[in-house]
């Protein structure tokens, strides 16, 4: 963590030097010298988004710390004010707790990113020769044996999200779809990508929960499993979908509304910082750029953030100017 933060600070200083020639500080900012604590989760885009926020807040004069925290535990940490904001929350797997906290005023909503995508069930495209009928999910009913591994026998092996990314109802989904799969939960984005890379290199069967936008889907020739497309009712109404007796007989939802949230102190202690974080919004193109720079080109998250700010200086300045004007 110390090494990670030291690299972040070095990149922040580079970004700060560039920024000082591009915008004028607001006389009332920073409003407090208390530390704004940003939550850092386990995947690349969230980490780069957080580092961009970190560097822009430092450029505005704030004291900022980026803290590694689990996806689920960060909600309670924000409620207790041990963490100030977190900047990439996916509605499908964050759980109901955050929405209850937002409704109760314990946390505040900081707006959405302009990103669409999300988790889906994927399989290796080469499996179509091993399991005729793919991508239709029912093809797996007749060739589950190719997915059986020593650790999951007699069931097929399925690679899922880490437990602390929330309950995504694997058991209910596989039961409803008739898929006899045992879930092996990966440790984070890196291990999920490593699973795809290994299966691709060996042309070994794989079914995995992953998401787009992400470079690994094309690089490792993954395809979406042809389960019924998610609609309202899939997870609540047994009459919806191919299984008349059970819910969750669909793939996962393609999402919009990926959002940011914070402890209310962001507005009371650092109003311009809160305004900046509301302005902060990224697109699918931004997300793809971040993934390429870090996961393929080898930049650290802090280096990628500094590079993004340099290449998008006008956009970053617009956010800062709007934050200063609205605070």
Place of tokens 């900022």: 64
Domains in the chain: ranges and CATH: 2-115+256-326 (3.40.190.10), 118-224 (3.40.190.100)
Rounded CA-CA distance 201/59 in Å is: 44
Look at residues 103, 124, 93 and name the one whose alpha carbon lies nearest to residue 255: 93
What confidence score (pLDDT) does residue 175 get?
98
**pLDDT value for 327:** 61
Place of tokens 């100030």: 84
107: helix, strand or coil: coil
Q: How many CA atoms lie within 13 A of 63 on its CB side?
A: 6
pLDDT for the residue 25: 52
Query: Which pLDDT belongs to residue 213?
Result: 84
Residue 193 exposed, middle or buried by CB count within 10 Å (0-12, 13-18, 19+):
buried
In the numeric block, which tokens belong to residue 177?
A: 């779809």
Tell me what pLDDT residue 27 has: 55
Q: Provide the pLDDT for residue 92.
A: 76
**CA atoms within a 13 Å half-sphere pointing along the CA-CB vector of 58:** 27
pLDDT tens for the chain, 327 residues: list them: 333 333 334 444 444 444 443 444 555 889 999 999 999 999 999 999 999 999 999 999 999 999 999 999 999 999 999 999 999 998 877 878 999 999 999 999 999 999 888 889 999 999 999 999 999 999 999 999 999 999 999 999 999 999 888 889 999 999 999 999 999 999 999 999 999 999 999 999 999 999 988 889 989 999 999 999 999 899 999 999 999 999 999 999 887 789 999 999 999 999 999 999 999 999 998 998 999 999 999 999 999 999 999 999 999 999 999 999 876
Strand runs labelled E in the chain: 35-40, 63-68, 85-89, 108-112, 118-124, 156-160, 181-185, 207-212, 222-224, 259-262
**Beta 63-68 vs 35-40: how paired, if at all?**
parallel
**What is the reported pLDDT for 3?**
33
């Amino acid at each position: 963590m110390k090494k990670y933060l030291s690299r972040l600070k070095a990149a922040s200083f580079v970004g700060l030097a560039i920024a000082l020639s591009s915008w004028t500080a607001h006389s009332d900012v920073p409003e407090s010298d208390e530390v704004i604590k940003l939550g850092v989760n386990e995947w690349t885009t969230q980490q780069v988004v957080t580092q961009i926020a970190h560097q822009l807040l430092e450029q505005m004069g704030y004291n900022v710390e980026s803290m590694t925290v689990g996806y689920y535990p960060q909600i309670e940490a924000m409620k207790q004010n041990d963490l100030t904001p977190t900047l990439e929350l996916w509605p499908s797997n964050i759980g109901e707790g955050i929405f209850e906290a937002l409704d109760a005023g314990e946390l505040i909503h900081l707006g959405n990113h302009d990103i669409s995508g999300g988790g889906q069930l994927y399989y290796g495209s080469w499996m179509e020769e091993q399991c005729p009928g793919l991508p239709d999910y029912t093809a797996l009913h007749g060739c589950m044996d190719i997915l059986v591994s020593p650790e999951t026998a007699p069931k097929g092996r399925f690679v899922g999200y880490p437990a602390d990314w929330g309950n995504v109802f694997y058991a209910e989904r596989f039961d409803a779809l008739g898929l006899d799969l045992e879930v092996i939960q990966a440790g984070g984005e890196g291990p999920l990508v490593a699973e795809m890379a290994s299966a691709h290199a060996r042309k070994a069967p794989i079914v995995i929960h992953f998401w787009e936008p992400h470079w690994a889907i094309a690089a490792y020739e993954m395809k979406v499993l042809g389960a019924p497309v998610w609609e309202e009712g899939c997870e609540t109404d047994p009459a919806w979908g191919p299984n008349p007796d059970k819910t969750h007989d669909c793939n996962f939802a393609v999402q919009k509304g990926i959002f940011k949230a914070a402890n209310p102190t962001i507005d009371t202690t650092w109003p311009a910082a809160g305004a900046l974080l509301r302005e902060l919004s990224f697109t699918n193109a931004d997300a793809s750029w971040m993934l390429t720079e870090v996961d393929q080109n080898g930049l650290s998250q802090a280096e990628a953030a500094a590079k993004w700010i340099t290449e998008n200086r006008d956009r970053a300045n617009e956010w800062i100017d709007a934050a200063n004007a609205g605070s």
